[in-house]
A and B are shown apart, each in its own frame.
Chain A
């Protein structure tokens, strides 16, 4: 695994959020660990990808490195607690990381508990996004677990005064087959206060030898979810807790002109807070909080704002602010675009657009905030607990050491929970009320005051030879984002550029960032080019593709689907698309059925490859889920807005995929045990929309270049 900072990752990190990031060290001394945890053995990971600056060894044995990325504690009873700043929100990393610990530590799954996303207990972590958990946190946990296992073997050797070479670590025990002695990890760590810091990679079990990692281990705590016992943030209570509610402005960017809250304040137990443009209440129950909010009379003024009608002109206006990317926005060039066009037999120029869409996590933003002696504790469903901690510290002018953010396993996010809005609001209310406050955003708030997947326009101009070789590729993305900007195809002459705009709506990270949009434009354009030179779409792609992993998924998807077996007709079409992003590869084949204007995705076959698979069951769930979610953005999801207001902020007006939208889904997972595992939460969504468009084109001859494609059914040809 590369320890270098990948420049693409730096860019991608910016694309994920605009929130400034403050990096704090993790200041702990050896004695603090054991005071906090009791005795046993601790193994710390420093010097991994996210903490490169911490490679230096501590100055004395009591002082630990400033930046630690993960750590593991084996208690005196043999139970194992692992601390990571990553969070669980349905992507199943609590399970896949536990498997990797069990694999290297040779401990039973049930003995391992992960503490995740707690800014007091877990090391600093940038956030859970970008499919980074599997490629970065996975190896770190395998490293510390392997180190712990080796330490345990050493302890046993010391105790038995025997050479360790024949010892076997298994099921939480060390045994020596020669002397037939066996001792549990707990017995070994009893009375110990052992700390090991690892910086470099110890020898790890290769994926081909995995026994626990690589298997379909059931979800950790699965039973708590089917019995309703799992406590999401929104389910939590604290002693004396109040319920919060925020008064929302009628439009974005509005400022409060006047506010009369006297009637609300008359309700017993109600606290009203007005602080700048923030107006909110805390009440003994949510019903009273709702009643109090309705009694507040407020006047707002809002500037005139842009509307959906001009969206695709607005996104082309260059950003007025400074771009924070060094050297300006991403731009890539190869060969000479002019020579490329001169060498082409045919050229094509098209524009593709994507609408604003909403993440719509089923658990809306929620937070429980509690102040005690000037210290703030917040439970909230966020992908970036440390960033939220810093947001809170900044907002309340306190040191970040006085803020603790904890993330209970969360009701999904899809890139939509990077910020701490609900946490800030709950904390403000709790501060005023002097009691803990829970705030759960309504669905309408979630649709209005969260942020969206960026809308954008993408211009593609290309040149192709009659033999099907693409020789010129000019690709300009306006506002949608730079992820997945470059093609996997071998094209000699390229000019590729991302153009940031001042976003018309608040926008941010979304599953796959801009890669689904860029894949949509690229892969639809590829079908148009294939059509132009009279080539079959799969053959045309393979002609321009040398990357063996991309070719492998393309061929696997085609085979799984039975590509080419049936002919396109006016009521049935077949489409294909391929892509790569974040170290994994995807190819998707789609069958659509067209009945007059009604378009239905009937069948999807997808091949996916993300190196060695850690949990095939969880992976298949992610892939199939990404396909379902992708159908929404492909076919019908769109945020409508006018002059600073959202026009469809309810599930009745914003259609998400439901049971009846479900196609037959066939998956082909290519398990490459010779490669390091890559993340899988995002890439499986990327090839779906273009494959759908290509299938519609194959059937109807109508090329749909805007997402969503058929919110009102198939448009007439024209």
Chain B
């Protein structure tokens, strides 16, 4: 049965099995490959997207459960050629190495700052605990999130 997905402000009608996971529909049907497959079991955060502003693991979310809800992917953060402050901060701090985790990190951080615009370091660490950077760029990611928070405040 066709479902409506609202991704980055655009409506998409997709005809996929209702238990198909959102990640694969984004990547294979909508051509939005910014969200990555890292583990397929919600343990690494590489596939993170925002659902009504809240970070979710798209590898676990069935399309039927997210149909009609507002979904934001990494591709939807840039507005009119202007990077989101979190993207700007990641770029400035160079908070990545191979950068495969970066989409998920940025999207999670956007979700965090949406909920808590001035998080403390322990709050950032706790919130981001589900996102793995195997290259070990955590100190810079923490720094980038701090920077984005202060940039949004000023």
Q: Could you list which residues of chain A lie within 8 angstroms of chain B, going by C-beta atoms?
A: 89-92, 218-219, 222-223, 225-232, 234-235, 237, 243, 285-287, 360-364, 409-412, 414, 440, 442-443, 617-618, 621-622, 624-629, 650-652, 656-660, 662, 665
Known: A226-B90, A228-B103. Is A442-B40 also a contact (CB below 8 A)?
yes
Q: List 27 A-B contacts (CB under 8 A).
A: A91-B97, A219-B94, A225-B96, A226-B83, A227-B75, A227-B83, A232-B100, A234-B37, A243-B28, A285-B28, A286-B24, A287-B17, A361-B98, A362-B46, A362-B132, A363-B38, A363-B100, A364-B38, A409-B98, A412-B134, A414-B134, A618-B94, A651-B132, A656-B132, A657-B138, A662-B125, A662-B142
Q: Are A621 and B140 interface neighbours, CB within 8 A?
A: yes
Interface pair B38/A629, CB less than 8 Å apart: no
Nearest chain A residue, comparing its CB with the CB of B39: A443
Q: Is B7 an interface residue (CB 8 A)?
A: no
- Within the complex, the shortest CB–CB distance from A347 to chain B, in Å, comes to 39
When chains A and B are docked, how far (Å) is the Cα of A360 from the Cα of B136?
12
Residues of chain A within 8 A (CB-CB) of B41 are 443, 650-652
Q: List the B side residues contacting A625 at CB < 8 Å.
A: 97, 135-137
Evaluate contact between B78 and A227: CB separation under 8 angstroms: yes
B35 on the interface (CB 8 Å rule)?
yes
Q: Which residues of B contact A621 (CB under 8 A)?
A: 94, 97, 137, 140
Question: Are A364 and B24 in contact, CB atoms less than 8 angstroms apart?
Answer: no
Residues of B within 8 A of A228 (CB): 32-35, 73-75, 102-103
CB distance from A692 to the nearest CB of B (A): 15
Q: Quick one: which of B72-102 are within 8 Å of A by CB?
A: 73-75, 77-78, 83, 87, 90-91, 94, 96-102
- Nearest Cβ distance between residue A91 and chain B, in whole angstroms? 7
User: CB of B9 within 8 A of chain A?
Assistant: no
A90–B94 Cα distance when bound, in Å, is 12
How many Å lie between the Cα of A628 and that of B138 in the bound state?
A: 8
Say whether, besides A360-B134, A625-B135, A650-B43, A222 and B129 are in contact (CB < 8 Å).
Answer: no
Most buried by B among A228, A234, A624, A626: A228
B16 within 8 A of A: yes
* Closest A residue, CB atoms, query B23: A286
In the complex, chain A residues whose CB is within 8 Å of the CB of B20: 287
CB atoms of A223 and B137 under 8 A apart: no
Q: Please, which residues of chain A bring their CB within 8 A of the CB of B37?
A: 234, 364, 440
Chain B residue, CB-CB nearest to A446: B39
In the complex, what residues of B have CB within 8 A of residue A231's CB? 33
Residue of A nearest to B122 (CB): A660
Would you call B129 and A660 a contact (CB within 8 A)? yes
- Total residue contacts A-B, CB cutoff 8 A: 168
Instruction: Tell me if B129 and A659 are in contact (CB < 8 A).
Output: yes
Interface residues of B (CB under 8 A from A): 16-17, 20, 24, 27-29, 31-41, 43-44, 46, 73-75, 77-78, 83, 87, 90-91, 94, 96-103, 106, 124-126, 128-129, 131-142
Least Cβ–Cβ distance between A362 and chain B, in angstroms: 4
Say yes or no: A412 contacts B100, CB within 8 Å. Answer: yes
Which one, A286, A363, A412, contacts B97 given CB within 8 A?
Answer: A412
* CB-based nearest A residue for B128: A659
The answer for the CA separation of A243 and B134 in the assembled complex, in Å, is 26
When A and B form their complex, which 5 residue pairs have the shortest distance between CB atoms, in order from nearest?
A228-B34, A628-B136, A90-B98, A411-B100, A228-B74
Q: Residue of B at shortest CB range from A363?
A: B100
Bound-complex Cα distance A285 to B31 (A): 13
Bound complex: CA A132 to CA B133 (Å): 24
Q: CB-nearest residue of chain A relative to B135? A: A625
Cross-chain contact B98 with A411 (CB below 8 angstroms): yes
Contact of B97 with A622 in the complex, beta carbons under 8 Å: yes
- Central interface residue in B36, B77, B129, B135, by most chain A CB within 10 Å: B135
Within the assembled complex, what's the spacing in Å between the Cα atoms of A652 and B44? 9
**Cα distance A90–B29 in the bound complex, in angstroms:** 28
Interface centre among B28, B106, B139, B141 (most CB of A within 10 A): B139
A410 to B140 alpha-carbon distance, docked (Å)? 20
A652 interface neighbour in B24, B43, B98, Cβ under 8 Å? B43
User: What residues of B have a CB within 8 angstroms of the CB of A656 in the complex?
Assistant: 132, 134
Q: In the complex, how many angstroms separate the beta carbon of A649 from the nearest chain B beta carbon?
A: 11
Query: Are the C-beta atoms of B90 and A657 separated by less than 8 Å?
Result: no
**Listed residue (B43, B134, B137) with the most chain A CB atoms within 10 angstroms of its CB:** B134
Contact of A665 among B77, B90, B139 (CB under 8 A): B139
